[in-house]
Amino acid sequence: MKGKSNILIIIPTFNERENISIIMKQIIETISNVDILVVDDDSPDGTAKEVVSFSKVTKTKIDIIVRKGVRGLGSAYTTGFKYGLKHQYDVIITMDADLSHNPEHLPGFLDAIEHNDIVVGSRYIKHGGTINWRIRRILLSWLANKFARFVLGLEGHDLTSGFRAYSRPVLETIDLDKIKSNGYSYLVEMLFLTQKKGAHITEIPIVFYDRKMGKSKISKQEIYRGAFTLLRLRFFSHEH
């Protein structure tokens, strides 16, 4: 029988067929008592089929939500968070599918979430880093973080990192449907909203590996939209 644990790992996916089973296997080998939810946006490459096949050969509870006719990392997170809240998980972790987020860090997240509301895996603090990232990506990410810190007065150093742990109560303090960002800026908006509510947010160092398989989804349009979102949050945050 599959025992229900109170830790959920959410993995948003779009065309990650080559990576998804590898990451799920690594997660299960690192921490045994977790459930996994994949939120897939009807990937044409058959990611969902791969998830279902894998779920049949493991004891770990693996669920998948396939969203049809919608796309977006942010709204995929929201779908996952709502599932996590509905099913009474105490700790909800988000991870990328593309093997950039090393499951070896998971025990560190679980330790830190005991005393914090949100734990962010940070590339930009001591002992954190990026491996195989092209200089353009490093610069872009660094700049985005500086900009977000400056514009929004956020305390973290890696505000766009998607490797995070949330305690259930902190997700209950905000109205997930009001988060308007739907890309990387969703991650910044989440920190902005929770920090305003007085959440205890901490960072732990992670080493981030560049994706080896599958395609990147980041676009120029996404970057400009992200910058615009931060300005909207700064000047129109009374909406929340």
Ligand X SMILES: Nc1nc2c(ncn2[C@@H]2O[C@H](COP(=O)(O)OP(=O)(O)OP(=O)(O)O)[C@@H](O)[C@H]2O)c(=O)[nH]1
Smallest distance, Mg ion to C-beta of residue 96, A: 5
Using CB under 6 A, which of the segments 9-17, 57-65, 114-122, 192-200 binds ligand X? 9-17
Q: Is there a contact between 5 and 106 (Cβ–Cβ < 8 Å)?
A: no
Q: Is there a contact between 230 and 188 (Cβ–Cβ < 8 Å)?
A: yes
Q: Is 60 in the site for ligand X (CB under 6 A)?
A: no
Structure tokens at 90: 């105490």
Q: Is there a contact between 182 and 219 (Cβ–Cβ < 8 Å)?
A: no
Task: Give the closest residue to 188 by CA, choosing from 138, 139, 222, 137.
Answer: 222
For ligand X, the binding residue among 16, 117, 189, 203 (CB under 6 A) is: 16
Sign (positive/negative) of CA torsion 131, 38, 80, 117? negative
**Which residue number, 14 or 199, has a Cβ lying nearer to ligand X?**
14
The residues that touch Mg ion, with contacts defined as CB under 5 A, are: 96, 98, 100, 211
* d(C-alpha 48, C-alpha 41), whole Å: 9
Tell me the per-residue interface mask from 92 to 121 with ligand X, x by CB under 6 A, - otherwise: ----xxx-x---------------------
For ligand X, the binding residue among 7, 8, 10, 41 (CB under 6 A) is: 41
Q: Is 158 in the site for ligand X (CB under 6 A)?
A: no
For ligand X, the binding residue among 68, 114, 216, 221 (CB under 6 A) is: 216
Q: Nearest residue to ligand X, using CB?
A: 216
Smallest distance, Mg ion to C-beta of residue 133, A: 10
Q: Which long-range contacts does 23-26 make (Cβ < 8 Å, 24+ apart)?
A: 23/95, 23/97, 23/98, 23/99, 23/101, 23/103, 24/51, 24/54, 24/58, 24/60, 24/62, 25/54, 26/103
Using CB under 6 A, which of the segments 29-37, 71-79, 84-92, 196-204 binds ligand X? 71-79
For ligand X, the binding residue among 61, 217, 234, 240 (CB under 6 A) is: 217
**Which residue number, 70 or 231, has a Cβ lying nearer to ligand X?**
70
Distances (CA, A) of 43 to 32, 53, 66, 95, 186: 28, 15, 9, 18, 21
**Which residue number, 38 or 233, has a Cβ lying nearer to ligand X?**
38
Q: Which residues pair with 63 in a beta bridge?
A: 37
Using CB under 6 A, which of the segments 53-61, 113-121, 193-201, 209-217 binds ligand X? 209-217
With CB cut-offs between 5 and 8 Å by kind, which of Mg ion, ligand X, none does residue 76 bind? Answer: ligand X
Where on the chain is the footprint of ligand X (CB under 6 A)?
Answer: 12-14, 16, 39-41, 71-73, 76, 96-98, 100, 162, 211, 216-218
